[in-house]
Amino acid sequence: MNTLSTCKLLLTGLAVLAWPSLLFAQLPSEKLGLQQAIDYAFAHNPGWAAAQAAVRQTESRIDEAGGWAPPMVKFQQAISPVQTKNGPQDQVLSFSQKIPFPGQNDLKVRQATYRYQVALSQLELKRRGLIEEIKGSYFDLWLFEKLPDLLGQSQKVIERLADTRSIESQQNQNLLSSIFDTQAAIGENAFELAQILDQLSDARARFDRLLGRTGGPVIRSVEPPEMISFSGDPEVLIARTLKNHPKLLELKAAEQAAEAASRLAGDRASQPDLQWGFNYIKIGAGTAGQKDSGKDAYNLSLAMSLPWGNQTRGAKEKGAAAGLQVAASNRQAFEQEIREKVTAHYNHVVNAERLVDLLEQTVLPPARQADQINQRLYSGGRSQMSVSLRSKAQLINLEIKALKAKAGYLKSRAALEAWVGM
């Protein structure tokens, strides 16, 4: 299967992918799933619709490139008839057609085909980018929906801790400084809560834009994302990206189109434009006292341009050659960028997953166990209650860090998947 057929198959597959969401235009406002959001976006996002229309527009130019210029019909009426040996000539009807030099149209079709492949690659790049943005906004929604509850719990615990320390400080003056620290923590927690609520509103608005929603109920909650362990070799991922990244495919097709344009400009600099014509010449009445001769004239004509020494065509040839060099350099530069970006995203994913594992397996289990022990020992009375409350506040803070670490891992993985095409 050639590249063009593969691209067309990809375009058809993308349309089929978006079809299920056409049947379910209404999204649930609670417990929205990630795949539901992606399907809906491919059916309603106006930017995606525009990208698909641009591909269809580019495809139509392939047939346009292979066509001939429209024929010309010319009618000429003489004001003063021209005397010929057959009689006065007063009307001329001409038909002419420009003929492309052999091989020129093939190069134009090839150039248009490469540009169509560029458009298909841009469409795939748009698809990956849209999915990455939707995933990022989805993970933000999931994070920001959970954080206010945890911060609210933390606020209550810190306020109780402040009251407890105030009572304890009456018996021990050395605890006065801890009261000030607790009051400062209350302000910091309240400020962070206000920021999170603001970020939640922004995330909902961004999510609606990506999905192409212009109304309907606010999406208040999403399904918890699946935490899948990551595995992969960076060299394998780089090789895969170098093979199928749409931006690189776009640059390769652009390079091929530039090569065809360079050859076309070189040919046109030395090949003439041809035009053939058919002329019908009507002979009018003869001189006074003579009958019409009745001999109308017909002739064929062939004209051609003289491209040799044409400054405009020579400049176009030089410009096309420079364009080919630019396209080749852009492709080489992006291949180097792929190695850098895939390696960086791979490291981000590995480090983010390591942080999640550290919090979930090493930090949180003993912190939860210690909190349970402290609750049993100190929550029954006022004596040393601050120890119990401080333990609870620390645990909630670790839960918040773990939640943020999970969201960071999911977003890092989405960025890597967008580059590699996983």
pLDDT at 356 over 90: yes
**Burial category of 383 from C-beta neighbours within 10 Å (exposed 0-12, middle 13-18, buried 19 and up):** exposed
**Encoded amino acid at 391, one letter:** S
Whole-number average pLDDT of the chain:
78
Residues 32-51, mean pLDDT to the nearest whole number = 91
| pLDDT value at residue 271 | 67
154 or 130, which is more confident?
130
Task: Give the lowest-confidence range in 196-200, 265-269, 317-321, 360-364.
Answer: 265-269
pLDDT digits (tens, 9 = 90+) for 45-79: 999 999 999 899 888 888 777 777 788 888 877 77
Closest CA to 36 of 50, 52, 18, 49: 18
Enter the DSSP assignment of 31: S
Residue 173: pLDDT band with limits 50, 70, 90: very low
Show the CA angle centred on residue 320, arms to residues 315 and 325, nearest 5°.
130
Enter the DSSP assignment of 233: -
Beta bridge partners of 83: 88
pLDDT at 26 over 60: yes
pLDDT digits (tens, 9 = 90+) for 263-272: 776 666 666 7
d(CA 408, CA 413): 9
302 or 249, which is more confident?
249
Q: What percent of the chain has pLDDT over 70?
A: 75
User: From its phi and psi, is residue 402 left (phi > 0), alpha (psi between -120 and 50) or beta?
Assistant: alpha
pLDDT at 227 over 50: yes
The predicted model scores a pTM of 0.73
pLDDT at 21 over 50: no
Mean pLDDT comparison of 9-18, 161-170, 280-289, highest-scoring range: 161-170
- CATH level 3 topology of 68-99+272-306: Outer membrane efflux proteins (OEP) (2.20.200)
pLDDT at 204 over 80: yes
Task: Give the lowest-confidence range in 143-147, 158-162, 321-325.
Answer: 158-162
CA distances from 118 to 58, 64, 105 (A): 9, 17, 20
Q: Where are the beta strands (DSSP E) in 173-293?
A: 274-283
- CATH level 3 topology of 3-67+100-271+307-420: Outer membrane efflux proteins (OEP) (1.20.1600)
pLDDT at 94 over 90: no
Closest CA to 192 of 26, 422, 401: 401
Q: Give the residue range(s) of CATH 2.20.200 domains in the chain.
A: 68-99+272-306
d(CA 175, CA 167): 10
d(CA 372, CA 377): 9
| pLDDT value at residue 127 | 93
Task: Give the lowest-confidence range in 188-192, 232-236, 277-281.
Answer: 277-281
Per the CB < 8 A criterion, the answer to whether 58 and 7 are in contact is no
d(CA 307, CA 267): 10
Residues 71-92, mean pLDDT to the nearest whole number = 73
Runs of H (alpha helix) within 283-363: 311-357
Closest CA to 28 of 211, 201, 227, 198: 211
pLDDT digits (tens, 9 = 90+) for 365-388: 988 888 888 777 766 555 567 777
Residue 22: pLDDT band with limits 50, 70, 90: very low
| pLDDT value at residue 18 | 46
| pLDDT value at residue 31 | 86
| Torsion angle (degrees, nearest 10) of CA 19, 24, 26, 28 | -110
**DSSP letter string over 329-342?**
HHHHHHHHHHHHHH
pLDDT digits (tens, 9 = 90+) for 385-405: 777 777 888 888 889 999 999
Which residues have CB under 8 Å from 177's CB, separation 6+?
none
**Encoded amino acid at 210, one letter:** L
Phi, psi of 397 (to 5 degrees): -65, -40
Q: Give the residue range(s) of CATH 1.20.1600.10 domains in the chain.
A: 3-67+100-271+307-420
213-220's contacts with Cβ under 8 Å and 24+ in sequence apart are 213/27, 213/40, 213/44, 216/26, 216/27, 216/29, 217/29, 218/29, 219/27, 219/29, 219/32, 219/141, 220/29, 220/30, 220/145
